[in-house]
Chain A
Amino acid sequence: MEFIKKIVLTVSLFLTTLMCNAEATESRDLFFRSGKYNVVVAVLVILFIILFVYLFRLDRKVSNLEKDHREK
């Protein structure tokens, strides 16, 4: 089960990027404006979103450990 979750997460992360790309046709201006500066912003946002998703997963693991620890 855990493994399936992992795969779903990985695929969904890829899909998010692809979805951003699909929207590109409408928001082309947004990312081409002022020398494509917004691409830099988007790249940083992607970086931190992925990092935070990973942190949330670690957090969940720690919560489970805490729960097990208290039950003893």
Chain B
Amino acid sequence: MNKFKSYWWKVLGVLLVLYSVYRGTSAKVGPGIVQVTPDLVHANSDFEITVEGYNTHFDHFLVNSAKGNGVGAWLKLDTILVLGRTTILDDNHVKIAFDGFDLKTDTTFTRSATIVLEDDHHGLFLGSQMLRVTVDPDSLASQDVLTSTKNLPYKLDQTYFSFPYRYILYETIRNLNFHVPMWFVMMTLLFISFVFSIRHLNTKKALYDIWANGFAKAGLLFGLMGIATGMFWANYTWGTPWTNDAKLNGAAVGVLMYIAYQILRSSIDDEDMVARVSAVYNIFAYPIFIVLIIVLPRLADFSLHPGAGDSVGFSNYDLNNHLRTVFYPAVLGWIVIGVWVGQLTTRIDRLEKEEEWNS
């Protein structure tokens, strides 16, 4: 039992990572709207649109529709909601018919509309920027402004655990739990390395230099893991393994900086010199690394990464916080695994050094 006290945190890390892998691969991705055809409608007379959904299971509601819990559909124009009549075609397709707008306007106007769908299993979900609505001038119409229908959505909640749906990403949104923690681990390990470098310069103890180097190596490992997973993910979502994105280039330079740290260490023969020079290098490298992967991407005009440049963070569409319940344990678990890897590396390096000193 006493032994367990010394490695309980490692067990905790393993459990957290296992939980995040299990939850991250098995939980469903929520419903979403992929496409609306046609994408431009004339709304003066009755019109029909076909909505292609993702993970919407419309079929299920075909059976249950007798009980009255079918799929509700609305068209949202600015703040006005117009009720439609749904006909379910198959699992992922629904046809929605709308009455023409009886509206007196002077000029033709075209606006982007949002499709609102709701059922008692998936809750309410939207598809915006997918349909444009044109209304031509009609002097015989009876009303000047459009009014909302009497039957508004119930704003139902989702009844099951799911990750948010994102166009293009689809199921790969799960990778957030596996790719992003790598960078958190890298930052943590390199910070530990940075602290040991400072301590080495203060005390001149060789042991602290071994710790700094071990954690820098482990940090580099997780950086490479982050880059490799990121490249693979990007290839199937952004269409290319490498884009000219501020975050990508920053991360690449950051990783190269720490490869340079290893090269620096192996290029000096004198052991005290290695320790001192690399400690100074490390102390300069860490703040630059943080600027490269966090500060500069935020200042960039454009970025494909969430929370960088002009793009919104994941929190903007993870409204039910389900992603967080997997993401935070994943970050914590991988950080613990990272510290463990760094510690193992250091312990082995230390034995090697002691072996050298003794012989």
Contact = CB atoms under 8 A, between A and B. Distances in A.
A31 B175 CA distance: 14
Contacts, number: 95
Nearest to A59: B348
Contacts of A31: 236
Interface in B47-99: 54-55
B178 A39 contact: no
A21 B182 CA distance: 21
Interface in A45-61: 46-47, 50-51, 54, 58, 61
Given A39-B233, A40-B171, A13 B224 contact: yes
What is the interface residue range for chain A against chain B? Answer: 35 or more
Contact of B355 (A13, A54, A68): A68
B241 A18 contact: yes
Contacts of B178: 40, 43-44, 47
A27 B29 CA distance: 24
B347 to A, nearest CB: 10
Contacts of B55: 35
A32 B241 CA distance: 15
Interface residues of B, number: 38
A47 B229 contact: yes
Contacts of B259: 10
Nearest to A65: B351
B262 A21 contact: no
B291 interface: no
Given A39-B171, A39-B175, A43-B175, A21 B355 contact: no
A64 B349 CA distance: 12
B221 A14 contact: no
B344 A58 contact: yes
A35 B171 contact: yes
A36 B348 contact: no
B241 to A, nearest CB: 5
Interface string A11-34: 001101110110010000001101
Interface of A: 2-3, 6, 10, 13-14, 16-18, 20-21, 24, 31-32, 34-37, 39-44, 46-47, 50-51, 54, 58, 61-62, 64-65, 68-69
Interface of B: 21, 24-25, 29, 54-55, 169-172, 174-175, 178-179, 182, 221, 224-225, 228-229, 231-233, 235-237, 241, 259, 262-263, 266, 341, 344-345, 348, 351-352, 355
Given A21-B235, A41-B25, 12 more contacts: A3-B262, A3-B263, A10-B224, A17-B231, A21-B231, A35-B29, A36-B170, A39-B233, A40-B178, A44-B25, A46-B228, A65-B352
Report, nearest first, the 9 A-B pairs whose CB atoms are least far apart.
Answer: A35-B170, A35-B171, A37-B171, A43-B229, A39-B236, A3-B266, A40-B174, A39-B172, A36-B172
